[in-house]
């Protein structure tokens, strides 16, 4: 959709990246560290001072003691952390429970390890987990359950009740959890982020993956981290050692400094919530109907009653004829489930959102 957007000079509300600038201060810090000569490989597991700051941040947010030496690994982005965690535990024939719609890397990452994705649809239109279905689909081969909250593409978030269900289901099993929490701070409406880091019984079997790109409006930086118990981290690092080895040094130094400023991440939820609300208000001028979004960069909109075609064709028509690119939600399902909904990214400047809505209001 991004190439189509370029071809047709469309406003790109499809791909999930901010079009507003990242922090000047953080850019200056990178420059400062490069000038100071921090340009060589750092420790394979990540710059120690950065891991320490992350451990402090986790304690202040989730009251969980994480060992910076043995339980945190800095990675080149969240996607890499997810791939590495899957590769760490999966053997051919293992089954992994994946909720759809799902971020596009999950299924290929499972399959390349010879494992089998067990696909469970989130329940439309709230995109909640059907835990009875999960119970039915668990088998002796189930190796892992993958979770993503706040969720891309729907913006749904895990609740306390979801956590209880998960705890009950996996108690007494050897099932691992992969928790994709890259939108950790992008959560709205005073909701609490139900991180695996809050729950020792879940954390002891989890790989929890994060992305600095999402936190600091710099998706192109591709830097993140994985938290897992020492024994799992030890195995994770065996994969990491011969794949990436060491991540970008000046950026790790600059993030170690910048993370000291708690406001820089604590203010994010409000910042993005304002964008969601602004976009919601503007979109009232169109015939598209919003589905609830409580987090992430995204909101789904239904075009039921506006167009008869499937999501992909409708999204192509919007791009070509109306100059606004989106992503069909069906792209996040292996079988292309089509509920007539499109994903819009509202992490954009107000002027971008305004211009997009002007174009969409003639729909
Ligand atoms: C759910 C989800 N997980 C992971 C990522 C990837 O993060 P990174 O860019 O750090 O690899 C994204 C990015 O869009 C995402 O939406």
Token look-up 């000569």 returns 37
Q: For residue 92, how far is its CA from the centre of ligand 1 (angstroms)?
A: 25
Summarised one tens digit per residue, pLDDT across range 39-57 is 999 999 999 999 999 999 9
Which atom from ligand 1 is nearest to the alpha carbon of 16? 14
Residue 300 β-bridge partners: 343
CA 329 to mean position of chain CA atoms:
15
Q: For residue 308, how far is its CA from the centre of ligand 1 (angstroms)?
A: 31
Ligand 1 close to Cβ of residue 224 (< 6 A): yes
Q: How large is the angle between the packed helices 230-241 and 78-89, nearest 10 degrees?
A: 110
pLDDT of residue 235: 98
pLDDT of residue 176: 98
Q: For residue 76, how far is its CA from the centre of ligand 1 (angstroms)?
A: 11
For ligand 1, atom 14: residue with the closest CA: 16
Ligand 1 close to Cβ of residue 211 (< 6 A): yes
pLDDT of residue 259: 96
Ligand 1 close to Cβ of residue 155 (< 6 A): no
Summarised one tens digit per residue, pLDDT across range 233-281 is 999 999 999 999 999 999 999 999 999 999 999 999 999 999 999 999 9
Q: How large is the angle between the packed helices 268-283 and 350-360, nearest 10 degrees?
A: 20
pTM over 0.85: yes
Ligand 1 close to Cβ of residue 16 (< 6 A): yes
Ligand 1 close to Cβ of residue 78 (< 6 A): yes
In sequence order, the 6+-apart residues with CB closer than 8 A to the CB of 202 are 163, 166, 167, 170, 177, 196
Which atom from ligand 1 is nearest to the alpha carbon of 81? 11
Q: For residue 210, how far is its CA from the centre of ligand 1 (angstroms)?
A: 8
Instruction: Going from the first residue of the chain to its last (363 residues), give the mean pLDDT of each consecutive group of 10, the final group possibly shorter.
Output: 93 94 97 98 98 98 98 98 98 98 98 98 98 98 98 98 98 97 97 98 98 95 98 98 96 97 95 97 97 97 95 97 97 96 97 97 93
């Amino acid at each position: 959709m991004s190439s189509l957007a370029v071809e047709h000079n469309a406003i790109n509300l499809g791909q999930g990246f901010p079009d507003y600038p990242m922090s000047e201060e953080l850019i200056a810090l990178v420059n400062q560290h490069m000038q100071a000569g921090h340009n060589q490989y750092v420790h394979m597991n990540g710059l120690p001072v950065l891991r320490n700051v992350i451990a402090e941040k986790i304690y202040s947010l989730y009251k969980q003691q994480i060992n910076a030496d043995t339980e945190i690994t800095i990675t080149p982005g969240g996607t890499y952390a997810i791939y590495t965690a899957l590769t760490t535990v999966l053997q051919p024939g293992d089954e992994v429970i994946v909720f759809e719609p799902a971020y596009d890397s999950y299924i290929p990452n499972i399959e390349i390890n010879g494992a089998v994705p067990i696909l469970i649809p989130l329940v439309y239109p709230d995109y909640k987990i059907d835990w009875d279905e999960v119970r039915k689909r668990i088998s002796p081969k189930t190796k892992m359950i993958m979770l993503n909250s706040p969720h891309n593409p729907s913006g749904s978030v895990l609740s306390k009740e979801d956590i209880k269900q998960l705890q009950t289901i996996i108690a007494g099993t050897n099932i691992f959890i992969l928790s994709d929490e890259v939108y950790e701070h992008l959560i709205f409406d005073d909701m609490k982020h139900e991180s695996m880091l809050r729950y020792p019984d879940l954390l002891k079997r989890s790989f929890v993956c994060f992305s600095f790109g999402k936190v600091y409006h710099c998706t192109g930086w591709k830097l993140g981290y994985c938290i897992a118990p020492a024994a799992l981290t030890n195995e994770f690092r065996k994969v990491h050692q011969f794949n990436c080895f060491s991540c970008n040094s000046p950026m790790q130094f600059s993030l170690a400094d910048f993370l000291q400023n708690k406001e820089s991440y604590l203010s994010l939820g409000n910042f993005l919530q304002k964008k969601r609300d602004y976009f919601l208000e503007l979109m009232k001028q169109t015939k598209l109907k919003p589905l609830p979004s409580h987090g992430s960069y995204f909101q789904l909109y239904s075009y039921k009653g506006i167009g008869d075609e499937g999501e992909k064709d409708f999204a192509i028509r919007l791009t070509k004829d109306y100059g606004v690119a989106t992503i069909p939600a069906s792209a996040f399902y292996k079988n292309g489930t089509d509920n007539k909904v499109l994903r819009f990214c509202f992490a954009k400047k107000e002027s971008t959102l305004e211009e997009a809505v002007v174009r969409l209001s003639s729909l």
